[in-house]
Structure formats: C-alpha cells, structure tokens
C-alpha cells in the first residue's frame, strides 16, 4: 500500500535538485548531523534515497552486459551496495538514521525506512537477471538457466526473493479419512445389511411422545428427568436414544419389519471418559410372526462374532427395560484378556455390550402392529463403546476432540 508513498509525496525531481551531498556520504551521518528535524524533511531525504536507488537500477539495465558472468557480477555489485548486511546502504540507513533518530522523529523515520526497504527488494538478483539484457542472440534461454543455477549469495538477506526451486517437493494436502465412529457404524450396518435388515433414520429433535410415551417409558421413569434429558421445550427434546425411529418405522411400514436405526443420541451427562452429551447408537428391530427369543439370541451371537471375531463367546443375562419384555443384556467374553479377567472386564471375563429383549406388546401397539399376531425383538448398542473396545481406546472424549494425531491412527 505505502510502498511508493514517500516518492509520491515529494516529487523525485525536487528531491534531487535539493541534494548536494552524495547519498553515500549522507548515509554515514546521523539525521542530526544532516540538520533534519521535521517529518517533512525526512520524507524529502528518503525520497532522495529511493530516487538514487531507482537511478542506479535503471542505469545498470540500460548498460547491458557482455556475457553472463559479467552480468552476474554487476547485479551482485548493485545488490551488495544496497542490501549487504554489513555496509550496505540500507543497513547504514538503519544504523545511522533510524537507530539514532530523535524520539519524536522515530515513527516517521521507521515508516519511511520500511518503505525504502520494500523498494530495495527490487534490487533482488533474480529480478535483475531476468530484466538485464544480454548482448547477442540466444540470450533468452541461457538467461533462464543461469538464473535458476545461481544460488543466493552467501549472507544474502533472507527477504530477497529468489526464483522458486521447481525441484523442491510441493505442499502436500493431507487427505482426510473416515472417522473411527463412522467406520465402526458402517461395519455394524454392513453386518445387518448382510442379514437382510434395512436402514431407517429419524429426527434428532424428537417429541416426548415418540421418545418416551410410545416406548412405554412412564412419566415416573428417571430417564425422563431434566437431569438426564436435553429438553428443547416441555414437549420436544433431543432424542435420548434412537428408539423413536422404531415406532416411526412401524407406523410407516407395518409388519413384517427388519430394520436397524443408526444415529446420534443426546443425554444431559457430564463429560468424562465414558460419557458424552452426544453419542451414536445403532438399534435393531425385527417384527414378524413367530419371532422368539431364540431368534434374538442367534442373531446377536452371529453379530458379535462377526464384529469382534470368531473366538468371542456371548452370554445373555436378564435385565429390565420398559420397552422390552423380557429384557436382557448381552455380554461378550472380554476381548482384552480372552475371558481370563483383567482391568477392563473388572476381573469377570465378561463385558456387557448391549441391551436387548422381546418388544413389549404395548410398544407394538403404539407402532400400529397387532401384538396378538406379531412379535418382535430389539436391541440397542453404543457405537463409541464398540469403537473403544475394538481399538482399545480408553476415553470417549477423544472421538470429539478432532485431534489429528488421534484420528490419523484409523
């Protein structure tokens, strides 16, 4: 913006006619010695320096060079005269004018000095070698090769631009990858798709009816408490599980029905190594005539071995959920100790991985399905928990911290 500000403010001609003392001599004196006391005088002085710089550069270009080595030598001379760290004119101006300037003049000198330094960069070797005409034919080609082959002079100012080195490696944009939670979710989906289940999804902002009432979760149930649920208003909430999708799917498709519902769920939990306010679930629902608990056991046993490996053993134990009757917990033999007992499985050899059960007749009725004719089973699992077990991750928070060092391991 301000690169040529000083030059524009004070016409070059005027500055030049005023100067008697050569620029080299002036740069060896302080501003006080030169009798410069006002910002205007500083502007004039720097305009004079810029004019001298431009003149010298123009003179060099006008002169032409006999051959490449001569050209290189002249360019280097001009460059060193202005930009050498020791004894270069810019360095001298820094030392004698800027550093020794009176306090009240320092801002003006600093500004003018920065403009000059920017300007002095046009003395860069590369630019001059490009513009500096060689005498004789065939110069163009040699020109380029010479410029590319010329290394920066030792001790060269780092700010002096050089021609880009095309042999250097480029900037590599790292490719993203699929998030571990998504990977695990897809893996679970694949297993059930292979069994003939369909994928259903539903809204994350859900009504109290679909989230609780239709699932036979009574008013008095602790899950409905403000402390466990993120309410938008008394009738609407962020779904606490993906189970509402089961009701919606029953209403939409009727029976028979074989679906899984992967998606996000929300709880009013304090974040710690096993709790997060947002997490992922996959729920499954099978509704048909003559569905029994044996179907549930067989399917989940197959799923667990497919996901965790053939060596896994499964164990069903009774539990309670309002939306299933009977209800159970599926435990698998500990993947870390193989069932011998360790810290993860609390020495029991078993790890509970999901809740399941036969769909409560009341829930079927809410979905518009006749419980006298149809029966069903359902399960629900936490995807983060599965991912943590699969990859031996000990903190659920890691999934949401977007730390590349963590994510690139998957």
Residues that bind Zn ion (CB under 5 A): 334, 336-337, 342, 344-345
Rg for the chain, CA atoms, rounded:
39
Tell me the closest approach of the beta carbon of residue 166 to Zn ion, in angstroms. Answer: 57
User: Residue 340, exposed/middle/buried by CB under 10 A (0-12, 13-18, 19+)?
Assistant: exposed
CB 397 within 8 A of CB 283: no
Quote the CA–CA distance of 299 and 88 in Å, as a whole number.
82
Tell me the closest approach of the beta carbon of residue 347 to Zn ion, in angstroms. Answer: 7
User: Which C-beta is closer to Zn ion: that of 41 or that of 337?
Assistant: 337
User: Which C-beta is closer to Zn ion: that of 347 or that of 408?
Assistant: 347
Count of other CB atoms within 10 angstroms of residue 352: 15
Helices (H), ranges, 229-382: 244-253, 293-308, 361-366
Quote the CA–CA distance of 210 and 245 in Å, as a whole number.
8
Tell me the closest approach of the beta carbon of residue 313 to Zn ion, in angstroms. Answer: 12
User: Which C-beta is closer to Zn ion: that of 101 or that of 330?
Assistant: 330
User: Which C-beta is closer to Zn ion: that of 125 or that of 333?
Assistant: 333
User: Which residue, 245, 233, 180, 190, is CA-closest to 410?
Assistant: 180
User: Which C-beta is closer to Zn ion: that of 130 or that of 340?
Assistant: 340
Tell me the closest approach of the beta carbon of residue 339 to Zn ion, in angstroms. Answer: 7
What is the sign of the dihedral through the CA atoms of 367, 372, 374 and 377? positive
Residues 6+ apart with CB under 8 A from 265: 239, 240, 241, 242, 278, 279, 280, 281
User: Residue 50, exposed/middle/buried by CB under 10 A (0-12, 13-18, 19+)?
Assistant: buried
User: Which C-beta is closer to Zn ion: that of 316 or that of 336?
Assistant: 336
User: Which C-beta is closer to Zn ion: that of 67 or that of 273?
Assistant: 273
User: Which C-beta is closer to Zn ion: that of 134 or that of 334?
Assistant: 334
Tokens standing for residue 160: 């002096």
What is the sign of the dihedral through the CA atoms of 339, 340, 344 and 350? positive
The single-letter DSSP state of residue 220 is T
User: Which C-beta is closer to Zn ion: that of 238 or that of 389?
Assistant: 389
Tell me the closest approach of the beta carbon of residue 350 to Zn ion, in angstroms. Answer: 8
User: Which C-beta is closer to Zn ion: that of 30 or that of 348?
Assistant: 348
Closest residue to Zn ion, Cβ-based? 334
Count of other CB atoms within 10 angstroms of residue 141: 8
User: Which residue, 256, 307, 304, 264, is CA-closest to 282?
Assistant: 264
Tell me the closest approach of the beta carbon of residue 343 to Zn ion, in angstroms. Answer: 7
In degrees, rounded to 5, the angle at the alpha carbon of residue 131 between the alpha carbons of residues 130 and 136 is 90
Tell me the closest approach of the beta carbon of residue 215 to Zn ion, in angstroms. Answer: 33
Tell me the closest approach of the beta carbon of residue 391 to Zn ion, in angstroms. Answer: 16
| Beta bridge pairs of residue 330 | 316, 354
Tell me the closest approach of the beta carbon of residue 299 to Zn ion, in angstroms. Answer: 25
User: Which residue, 159, 160, 92, is CA-closest to 129?
Assistant: 160
Quote the CA–CA distance of 59 and 188 in Å, as a whole number.
76
| Beta bridge pairs of residue 207 | 236
User: Which C-beta is closer to Zn ion: that of 105 or that of 345?
Assistant: 345
Tell me the closest approach of the beta carbon of residue 409 to Zn ion, in angstroms. Answer: 22
Tell me the closest approach of the beta carbon of residue 187 to Zn ion, in angstroms. Answer: 22
């Amino acid at each position: 913006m301000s690169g040529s500000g000083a030059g524009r403010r004070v016409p070059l001609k005027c500055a030049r006619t005023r100067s008697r003392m050569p620029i080299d001599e002036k740069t060896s004196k302080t501003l006080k010695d030169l009798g410069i006391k006002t910002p205007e005088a500083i502007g004039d002085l720097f305009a004079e320096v810029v004019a001298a710089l431009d003149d010298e550069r123009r003179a060099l270009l006008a002169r032409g060079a006999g051959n490449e080595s001569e050209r290189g030598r002249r360019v280097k001379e001009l460059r060193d005269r202005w930009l050498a760290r020791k004894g270069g004119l810019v360095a001298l101006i820094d030392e004698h004018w800027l550093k020794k300037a009176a306090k009240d003049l320092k801002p003006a000198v600093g500004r003018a000095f920065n403009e000059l330094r920017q300007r002095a960069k046009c003395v860069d070797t590369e630019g001059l070698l490009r513009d500096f005409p060689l005498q004789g034919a065939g110069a163009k080609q040699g020109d380029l090769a010479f410029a590319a082959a010329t290394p920066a002079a030792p001790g060269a100012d780092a700010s002096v631009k050089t021609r880009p080195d095309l042999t250097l490696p480029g900037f590599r944009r790292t490719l993203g990858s699929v998030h571990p939670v998504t990977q695990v979710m897809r893996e679970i989906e694949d297993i059930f798709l292979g069994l003939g289940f369909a994928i259903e999804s539903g809204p994350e902002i859900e009504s109290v009816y679909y989230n609780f009432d239709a699932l036979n979760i009574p008013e008095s149930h602790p899950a409905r408490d403000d402390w466990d649920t993120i309410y938008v208003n008394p009738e609407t909430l962020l779904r606490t599980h993906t189970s509402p999708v089961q009701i919606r799917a029953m209403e939409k498709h009727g029976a028979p029905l074989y679906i899984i519902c992967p998606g996000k769920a929300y709880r009013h939990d304090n974040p710690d190594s096993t709790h997060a306010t947002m997490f992922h679930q996959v729920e499954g629902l099978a509704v048909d005539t003559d569905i029994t608990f044996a179907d549930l056991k067989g399917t989940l046993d197959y799923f667990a071995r497919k996901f965790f490996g053939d060596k896994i053993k499964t164990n069903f134990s009774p539990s309670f959920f309002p939306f299933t009757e009977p209800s159970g917990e599926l435990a698998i033999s500990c993947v870390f100790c193989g069932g011998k007992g360790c810290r993860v499985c609390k020495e029991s050899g078993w790890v509970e991985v999901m809740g399941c059960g036969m769909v409560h007749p009341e829930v079927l009725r809410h979905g518009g399905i006749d419980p006298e004719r149809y029966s069903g089973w359902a399960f629900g699992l936490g995807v983060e928990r599965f991912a943590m077990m699969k990859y031996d991750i000990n903190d659920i928070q890691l999934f949401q911290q977007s730390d590349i060092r963590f994510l690139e391991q998957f």
